[in-house]
Structure 1
Amino acid sequence: MRNTNRPLIKAKLLFLLILLSACQPIAQQPLARWQHAVEGAYAANISNDGKYSVVSSIHHGISLWDIEANALKYNWSQQQNSADNLVLAADIADNNSHALTANRHEFSLWNIENGQSEGFWSITESTIRDVAIANNGTYILIGQSNGKVVHITPGTGRRLEFLGHQEKINAVDMLPNGRVAISGGNDFVAYVWDTVSGQVIYRFNHPSRITMVALDAKGRYAFTADSKKAAHIWDLKTGQLISSLKYSNRQEVFSAVQFSPDGSLLLTGAPSRKVSVWAIATGERLTSWRVTPREDIRPAGAVVYSVAFRDNTQVITESSSGYAELWQVTN
């Protein structure tokens, strides 16, 4: 039987295609791609300005890459001779002076200018969950599985233990001057606290365990996210809620986060290869895309380890696929 509604169906399909194309992200394909680990990476961190990246992999140990020059700057070793010794956490100082790398029980401080080690420490009471470093390597922050967060001054040996958490720490961050820290754990709480006195500045409660925290390097915002449905942006000066990220999925888990230099955008990465750009003022998702997966595993996938704004229009990602990728996100 002849379909008399064919013109209407074509019109509806055309409208649907236009609507879908309008929702497509600007950055479907990267502008550039650089391989930093041949068979995938175990951890990675991009400097806040997108110039450097530190990558941990089984074949290369710890590699520091000059992203702008696409050149390997240093290869470092942290006794990576077993699965337990693999570096699983890393951070680069905001002023690119130092890098901090950690496996489950040890952490190392590296000078980016000359490539030399400036310290190696071990802990025995628990395992390391996350790390952060201040400018010039002046302070180090270590989040542990026993619920402690330790603020260390390498130059003097001073150690301050923050004991506000009741369960395992999942994420930590610190302002570039090292004076304010944020930590989140399985106790459903994120704390912003003073690293000199150990006093709590703000307490942010969540309905489930905290999986990601971050501080804006310029001291404007804090970010907290849990394992279910809540992801919030807070005013770091007042402690007031600015916005909550709006997403339709039952849950979104974040593995990387970065604030834009101009303070208008939030960039996130996820274990599902997904990278998203959000409006800080409203929590609306502006665009999203997926990084290149590892093709030698099934199903093909990748965890986004780190994200950074090169400027307000381009971003860089590092993922477990072993690739760093450059993306255009705004015109």
Structure 2
Amino acid sequence: MLFIKRYLLPRIVQFLVVVFVGITIVFFVPRLTPVDPVQQVISQITSQGAFMDPAAVDALRQSLTELYGLEGGMFQQYFAFWGRLIKGDFGPSLFQFPTPVMDLIMISLPWTAGLLITTTIISWIIGNILGGLAGYFKNKAWAKTLDNISMVLRPIPYYIFSLLLLILFAYLIPIFPSAGGYSVGRRIGFNWAFISDLLIHSFLPAMSLVILGIAANFMTMKLIVSNIVAEDYVMYAKAGGLKESTIAFKYVIKNGLLPQITGLALSLGQIFGGALITEIVFSYPGLGTLLYGAINSGDYNLIMGVTSLSVIGIAGATLLVDLIYPLFDPRIRYR
């Protein structure tokens, strides 16, 4: 009961508050933008040379407003939105009407999940191991070399690095395709021809995320380890004659991973938001590209669908970390 009262309940309440505030912001922000999806549809129709008298325009405006769920005041729409959200219904996409928003998300989600889960885990493991070893053996030549490489790579923005990879390996040295998730005309199926084609198309987006992710985790872990090596228990381990590899992995890196676990969970929780810049640069068919198209077209429902799932994913990942963290840190179990 003490665990539930002091540890579990406060974190569940925090999760619910974060989700409520986040989704509320997600609802109101698109409606404060100057983009009117109904007016855009009418403008597209009239720009194609179709003549419509004012009465027909008003009737079309009323019909589109009802179809898109934009009738009534903003707060009426807000409460209706929560009613649909509880059922997992974000309504139809405004500019791909009548396709439901959840259908579009389910089409794009596997592409983003496959890309981000793989790259996040790979960069987290490699970056933390290399950063931990470089922090412990900081006077070694290879550690200084890795540190210098990371210091060069870490400040590079994702979109610049993605463009560099795209120009180098898709145009100057055309090894990999420049865009898409698979070749045009390729039949989707669970076979080697499609899987190999998918891997080739995802290689450059994955490398842009993995390389910079390794550099970021390397720098963070190295900084953490530089403080741990000065702790008394590390000094006692060295004085006791333990092997350097044992001290590095069982004492230093193991304890340095504790704060990094939180970063891993938050990174995995961001999967529902997609890798926006990377997906746009490589025209990758994930949630980032879907969200970018929704923003450009003023698709309120699709924007709210993607960003709401992102808010829930990040908040859920934070809650999950809080719940499992006592398994990794005995100090929390003791308290």
Q: TM (normalized to structure 2)?
A: 0.24
Greater Rg, structure 1 or structure 2? 2
- The TM-score, its normalising length taken from structure 1, stands at 0.24
Q: Relative to total residues, which structure has the larger helix share, 1 or 2? A: 2
